[in-house]
Amino acid sequence: MSEVLEAPVPQSRRVRRRASQRATSLFSNGEPMVWLTGGALALCVVMIVGMLCLVAVQGSGTFWPRALERFERLGASAVLGEVVQRETYEPNAAAFAGRDEATALELRARAERAGNVAERWLVRTENFELTGTHYTWVSDFEVTARSQPEWALSIERREGGPFYGELVGFDVGGERVATEPGAAWALFEEHLPAVVERVEARRAIERDEIGRVNRALEEQRLAVRRAELEHGPDAAPTRAARELAAAREQALQSEFQRLRGEIEALVRQNERFGLMIESADGTETRIPLGQVVRAFPVNQLGLSGRIGVYGARTAEFLTDEPRESNTEGGVLPAIFGTVTMTLVMSLLVVPFGVLAALYLREYAKPGPLVSFVRIAVNNLAGVPSIVFGVFGLGFFCYFVGASIDQLFYSENLPSPTFGTGGVLWASLTLALLTLPVVIVPTEEALAAVPSSMREGSYACGATKWQTIRRIVLPRALPGILTGMILAIARGAGEVAPLMLVGAVKLAPELPIDGEAPFVHPSRSFMHLGFHIYDLGFQSPNSEAAKPMVYTTTLLLIGIVVLLNVVAIAVRAKLRRRFQGAQV
Amino acid sequence: MIRARSETLRSEVVRKSVKPSPSIGGGSTSGQASHERPTRKVFDAVSEKRTFEAELHPALLTEEMVLEVDGFSLFYGAAQALWEISMGIPKGKVTALIGPSGCGKSTLLRSVNRMNDLIDTVRISGTMRLNGDAIYAPGVDVIELRKRIGMVFQKPNPFPMSIFENVIYSLRIDGERKKSVLEEVCEASLRGAGLWEEVKDRLHDSALRLSGGQQQRLCIARAIAAEPEVLLLDEPCSALDPIATGRIEDLIEELKGSYSILMVTHNMQQASRTSDYTAFMYLGRLVEYGPTEELFVQPRLSETEDYVTGRFG
Ligand SMILES: Nc1ncnc2c1ncn2[C@@H]1O[C@H](COP(=O)(O)OP(=O)(O)O)[C@@H](O)[C@H]1O
Ligand SMILES: [Mg+2]
């Protein structure tokens, strides 16, 4: 009896147990997954935003003129410079080294009085040719006085890096015409514009006139070479060409000498003026005005003055050519190279990618072969980019380029024209690299065009191509642009393959300029990504170049974002055109 | 699966309810009294997988045909979707195709302008003639053929371009450039489709911003812009609300006479309201075809009566 009664009980208990298990199991209700997925997303966002913030903060601060502080130190010479970092630390024996015993003891006592915790500042002192260093650590216990000298000048020079020091006089032709800082500053401001003008004139001569003479000389050489190739080295026309070239060369050489003379005169004129600067350790240095890019008494500047300096430095950065093995000056050639290369790449990759996607999606009969091609294309995106670089070098430069040289530029040989890295080969290589990035979204966009639209078009008597051109492609355009955006983002930031196929450390001649034939697809070029690598890891003093690395990185990110924003805006506009209120 | 089962159920029900017929699979005899309504055993034809000779009303003999279908069969791969359909579509009249879902109405319609060519597995036999020109003869230019036939689909499918460009699409693909011609055709077609007043001020707006009913009328305007010899409408109202449906029906009424229309509809009222002739199809066979009134009021076959009175389908 009791057994019969009890029979259903275990069953219901089992049910209840299962229910309670469900309630306690972490994964049976959705909560933990929400936290897991949300947390992963948050982590990603934090990392990306953190990186962007770091680059933005560090990069945008580089050009801000900071106060020049002078630290008088016990037992060591004074330092003058910008404080770039501060930290607290526990001084050890090394902190007191390099002083005589009494001073060291005194310093130790001072540090101990402060509880053996000291503050120290990293001071950017510059004046590299005098001190052999860019930075100096200054600890609080060694400082006897700290001030911001009124006439501390921050001078940016054309060569040798910045110079910090106090203005003590102005020198004209070896004669000190002012000994009082105010007067010296007035003279400096008076003479600087003329000096800068002469510097510009010199630059113009070097770039344009001497460049022209050099090209003419090269042309003569090539004319002779051409004649040799065509008629043989001893034929009459060759000899005539050689004589003609020799005569012309004479004229060009004298022209060259005249230009050199002009330059020297300009330099001599500029050499006459000099700023007398006393650096923190008391040495006096004469800085010729011709060397000065910009000088300002930073401690006297108000906010507007500093903003002015900031703007001027930023403008120089964006519009000038690099100086001092790329660590100073501007990055215009690199900006230009990056943008040109990216645009040419897009112009190459988008049509090719779209055509390939059209064939895959619209014309090819679906089957194993098409699937195989599709998988292969997708996998192409995963090939390391350096492989594309090697391929580009081997195929475009050494095969295609060398063949072009053989056919059209044989007189230049053995120095290559197209047979080496250049902006065209770099663009082609990156186009290849980004091809899958275009094909995949384009194919998806083509597949997403409703079949009802195609049928409607066919029913109107349209051919396949008319349907593709008038219905499918316009409708898929936003997707195609997505591909282009991805390609730009991928291509503009790529560095490794470029190092093999045309990006160089310094290329003052832009791929597009005023010299016929205006477009020079064979020229090597500068690239911001490569510039960053070069600046940060190849420059003689990478520590000093660090701020510029951040600034250049910020610029590269900015350019990529800008290119993308433009493409996204175009896409949004197209989307609006194709999207109705009701569908 | 489900459909197949319900069909067997239905056929059993019908078989029980009708009295046996003397003429099994025989030719149509016009002398037969219409009220007798013999069962022609469509269901037997279906279950025995054979063709079925349609019951054609004599009124059709007096009509001039724009489209003639003769012994037309169509296969999707191995599955036969149309079984030797023979029928003519009268010129300047509206002909409605009715029948339960999946009976091959759309397939028949799409065969007329050879839209089925787009499907690789389709095979056909039999002939179709458009104003005497064979549609399926070898060497027929399908593109040219489709330009002679207008088609409107179940779901409005305006192209992603302006209203103007939508309407003159068929002229554009013919390379017509003259603005005056294009504008004239656009206005005439939109007026013809009863849409002109609503859109004349925004011809260059995107067509996708129109309402569903307007989009469908735009598609009709697009179809009549090419002056087609036949207009094929595949359930043009099934995606629309009742008001928009009413407007399309009025429009079909207006187009009657100037165009020969072949229209698929799911809706019995619509067929009876708008069409001159009605063809009833069942599982790929043409069952009965005649003037709409006769078909709805005095159908010759009991299957037709069952369907039009809503007893099945
Ligand atoms: N593309 C296709 N491939 C294979 N079978 C199809 C295809 N289109 C339609 N069918 C089949 O053909 C038959 C008729 O379809 P359809 O003409 O669309 O019917 P209706 O328009 O009368 O509802 C259905 O059984 C359907 O499953
Ligand atoms: Mg249908």
Of A6 and A82, more confident: A82
Tokens 């004589």 correspond to A243
Residue range A523-532: mean pLDDT, rounded: 86
Residue A49 has pLDDT above 90, yes or no: yes
B95/B286 Cα distance (integer angstroms): 14
Reported as a single tens digit per residue, the pLDDT across A163-174 is 999 988 888 888
- Residue numbers in B near A453 (CB within 8 A): 157, 159-160
pLDDT score of B9: 37
A136/B72 Cα distance (integer angstroms): 96
Residues 6+ away with beta carbon under 8 Å from A570: A481
A302/A318 Cα distance (integer angstroms): 24
Shared domain check, A520 and A472: yes
pLDDT score of A25: 63
Nearest ligand 1 atom to the CA of B99 is 22
CA B98–ligand 2 middle distance (angstroms): 10
Reported as a single tens digit per residue, the pLDDT across B234-278 is 999 888 888 888 888 988 988 888 899 999 998 888 899 899 999
Residue A300 maps to a domain: no
* Closest protein CA for atom 25 of ligand 1: B102
Cis peptide before A414 (omega within 30 of 0): yes
Tell me the residue type at A576. R
Residue A467 has pLDDT above 80, yes or no: yes
Q: Is B196 in the pocket of ligand 1 (CB under 6 A)?
A: no
Q: Which residues of B touch A (CB under 8 A)?
A: 113, 115, 118, 143-147, 149-151, 153, 155, 157-161, 169-170, 172-174, 206-212, 215, 219, 222-223, 226
In terms of CA atoms, which chain B residue is nearest residue A463? B143
Tokens 């709409």 correspond to B292
A464/B232 Cα distance (integer angstroms): 21
Q: Is B111 in the pocket of ligand 1 (CB under 6 A)?
A: no
Tokens 């002469």 correspond to A198
Residue A223 maps to a domain: yes
pLDDT score of A415: 72
Instruction: Mutation target for A interface from B110, B135, B169: give the one with most A CBs within 10 A.
Output: B169
Residues 6+ away with beta carbon under 8 Å from B294: B34, B57, B59
Ligand 1 pocket: which of B72, B85, B103 to mutate (most atoms within 8 A of CB): B103
Task: Tell me which residue of A170, A173, A175 sits closest to A187, measured CA to CA.
Answer: A170
Of A142 and B289, more confident: B289
Show which of A248, A271, A294 is a domain's final residue. A271
Question: Could you tell me if A423 and A337 are in contact, meaning their C-beta atoms sit under 8 angstroms apart?
Answer: yes
A117/A92 Cα distance (integer angstroms): 10
Q: Is B169 in the pocket of ligand 1 (CB under 6 A)?
A: no
Residue A155 has pLDDT above 50, yes or no: yes
Strand-pair partners of B286: B281
Residue B71 C-alpha, separation from nearest chain A C-alpha, in angstroms: 24
Shared domain check, A522 and A464: yes
The confidence band for A28, taking pLDDT boundaries of 50, 70 and 90, is: low
Residue B102 has pLDDT above 60, yes or no: yes
Question: Could you tell me if B130 and B149 are in contact, meaning their C-beta atoms sit under 8 angstroms apart?
Answer: yes
A367 inside 8 A of chain B by CB: no
Percent of chain B having pLDDT more than 90? 52
A428/A399 Cα distance (integer angstroms): 14
Residues 6+ away with beta carbon under 8 Å from B38: B21, B22, B23, B32, B300, B301, B302
B301/B284 Cα distance (integer angstroms): 17
| CA A178, chain centre distance (Å) | 43
Q: From the list A456, A462, A474, which residue is nearest B157 (CB)?
A: A456
Q: Is B71 in the pocket of ligand 1 (CB under 6 A)?
A: no
CA distances from A460 to A13, A421, B147, B226 (A): 70, 51, 6, 8
A164/A80 Cα distance (integer angstroms): 7
CA B265–ligand 2 middle distance (angstroms): 8
Strand B94-98 relative to strand B277-282, pairing = parallel
CA A119–ligand 2 middle distance (angstroms): 84
Read off the tokens for B114.
Answer: 């050879």
Read off the tokens for B264.
Answer: 């698929």
The confidence band for B93, taking pLDDT boundaries of 50, 70 and 90, is: very high
Domains of chain B in start order, with CATH, are: 2-308 (3.40.50.300)
Percent of chain A having pLDDT more than 90? 19
Look up the domain containing A81 and give its range.
Answer: 69-164
Contact (CB<8Å) A578/B209: no
| Ligand (nearest to CA of B155) | 2
Shared domain check, A573 and A546: yes
Shared domain check, A214 and A141: no
- Residue numbers in B near A455 (CB within 8 A): 115, 118, 153, 157
Contact (CB<8Å) B147/A459: no
A359/A355 Cα distance (integer angstroms): 6
Shared domain check, A250 and A137: no
Residue range B296-313: mean pLDDT, rounded: 85
A466 inside 8 A of chain B by CB: yes
Shared domain check, A380 and A433: yes
Shared domain check, A144 and A215: no
- B222: number of Cβ within 10 Å: 30
CA B109–ligand 1 middle distance (angstroms): 11
pLDDT score of A484: 87
pTM of the model: 0.76
Reported as a single tens digit per residue, the pLDDT across A473-491 is 988 888 888 888 888 888 8
Show which of A271, A295, A319 is a domain's final residue. A271
User: Which residues in A343-356 are b (16+ Cβ under 10 Å) and which e?
Assistant: ebbbebbbeebbeb
- B3: number of Cβ within 10 Å: 10
Residue A212 maps to a domain: yes
Residue A409 has pLDDT above 90, yes or no: no
Of A125 and A505, more confident: A125
Contact (CB<8Å) B159/A466: no
- B172: number of Cβ within 10 Å: 18
Question: Could you tell me if B263 and B150 are in contact, meaning their C-beta atoms sit under 8 angstroms apart?
Answer: no
CA distances from A422 to A493, A521, A527, B49 (A): 18, 6, 12, 72
Residue range B146-164: mean pLDDT, rounded: 92
Shared domain check, A572 and A431: yes
CA B292–ligand 1 middle distance (angstroms): 25
CATH number, position A386: 1.10.3720.10
Residue B313 has pLDDT above 90, yes or no: no
pLDDT score of A24: 59
Shared domain check, A448 and A344: yes
- Rounded to the nearest 10°, the torsion over CA A9, A10, A16, A20 is 150
Q: From the list A460, A462, A578, which residue is nearest B160 (CB)?
A: A578
| Ligand (nearest to CA of B235) | 2
In terms of CA atoms, which chain B residue is nearest residue A574? B160
pLDDT score of B8: 39
pLDDT score of B32: 42
pLDDT score of A516: 65
- Residue numbers in A near B155 (CB within 8 A): 452
Nearest ligand 1 atom to the CA of B103 is 22
The confidence band for A350, taking pLDDT boundaries of 50, 70 and 90, is: very high
Q: Is B96 in the pocket of ligand 1 (CB under 6 A)?
A: no
Shared domain check, A237 and A120: no
The confidence band for A26, taking pLDDT boundaries of 50, 70 and 90, is: low
For chain A, the residue count is 583
Q: Is B136 in the pocket of ligand 1 (CB under 6 A)?
A: no
pLDDT score of B20: 37
Shared domain check, A494 and A446: yes
Q: B85 φ, ψ to 5°?
A: -80, 135
A83/A68 Cα distance (integer angstroms): 8
Q: Write the DSSP string, A431-452.
A: HHHHHHHHHHHHHHHHHTS-HH
Q: Is B142 in the pocket of ligand 1 (CB under 6 A)?
A: no
Q: Is B105 in the pocket of ligand 1 (CB under 6 A)?
A: yes
Residue range A367-396: mean pLDDT, rounded: 89
Residue A530 has pLDDT above 70, yes or no: yes
Percent of chain B having pLDDT more than 70? 87
Instruction: Mutation target for A interface from B157, B161, B165: give the one with most A CBs within 10 A.
Output: B157
In terms of CA atoms, which chain A residue is nearest residue B153? A456
Residue A450 C-alpha, separation from nearest chain B C-alpha, in angstroms: 9
Q: Is B101 in the pocket of ligand 1 (CB under 6 A)?
A: yes
A448 inside 8 A of chain B by CB: no
- B141: number of Cβ within 10 Å: 9
Read off the tokens for B85.
Answer: 């359909």
Residue range A366-372: mean pLDDT, rounded: 90
Q: Write the DSSP string, chain B.
A: -HHHHHHHHHHHHHHHHSPPPS-SSPPP-TTS-TTT-----HHHHHHTT-----EE-GGGGGSPEEEEEEEEEEEETTEEEEEEEEEEEETTSEEEEE-STTSSHHHHHHHHTTGGGGSTTEEEEEEEEETTEESSSTT--HHHHHHTEEEE-SS----SSBHHHHHTHHHHHTT---HHHHHHHHHHHHHHTT-HHHHGGGTTSBGGGS-HHHHHHHHHHHHHTT--SEEEEESTTTTS-HHHHHHHHHHHHHHBTTB-EEEE-S-HHHHHHH-SEEEEEETTEEEEEEEHHHHHHS-SSHHHHHHHTTS--
Size of the A and B interface in Cβ pairs below 8 Å: 85
Contact (CB<8Å) A455/B157: yes
* ipTM confidence score: 0.85
Residue range A213-218: mean pLDDT, rounded: 83
Q: B271 φ, ψ to 5°?
A: -60, -45
Question: Could you tell me if B43 and B66 are in contact, meaning their C-beta atoms sit under 8 angstroms apart?
Answer: no
Q: What is the mean pLDDT of chain B?
A: 84
Of B77 and A216, more confident: B77
A208/A213 Cα distance (integer angstroms): 9
Domains identified in chain A, total number: 3
A425/A393 Cα distance (integer angstroms): 8
Shared domain check, A538 and A458: yes
Residue A317 maps to a domain: no
A542/A14 Cα distance (integer angstroms): 71
A147/A72 Cα distance (integer angstroms): 9
Q: What is the mean pLDDT of chain A?
A: 84
Of A48 and B7, more confident: A48
| CA A407, chain centre distance (Å) | 36
Q: Is B124 in the pocket of ligand 1 (CB under 6 A)?
A: no
Contact (CB<8Å) A474/B153: no
Residue A559 has pLDDT above 50, yes or no: yes
* Closest protein CA for atom 2 of ligand 1: B76
Show which of A101, A135, A164 is a domain's final residue. A164
A549/A543 Cα distance (integer angstroms): 10
- Residue numbers in B near A458 (CB within 8 A): 115, 118, 146
